[in-house]
Amino acid sequence: MTTSEKYLRTCDQGHQFYKSSDCPTCPTCENERKPADGFLSVLSAPARRALENNGITTLQQLSTLTEKEILQFHGMGPASLPKLRSALKENGLAFRE
């Protein structure tokens, strides 16, 4: 198993963190902006950003898309679908067929 070298980075807010990739996302900033409740709060950070970056911030917006369309978003994986299906169902909604 190989180990990637990690580099010390500093975000715009001054938080320091180590990353082995070129990903600029600061873990501290990401934790601070995670919603406390709602369907976005149960998702991983990459899945949440994938929806937000595509303008999906409500269940009504989510229900206008198919599961296949959702999975095409960068950062969205199949593990998030059951959580999204459940949130939609609890609110009387579903993915578009």
The hierarchical CATH code for the domain 35-97 is 1.10.150.20
Q: What is the pLDDT at residue 20?
A: 85
Tell me what pLDDT residue 94 has.
98
Query: What is the rounded CA–CA span in Å between residue 70 and residue 95?
Result: 9
Per-residue pLDDT tens digits for 30-49: 777 888 789 999 999 899 99
Helices (H), the chain: 27-32, 45-53, 59-62, 67-71, 81-90
Q: List the chain domain ranges.
A: 1-33, 35-97
pTM of the model: 0.75
- Determine the pLDDT at residue 2: 59
Residue-wise pLDDT for 44-84, tens only, equals 989 999 999 999 999 999 999 999 999 999 999 999 999 99
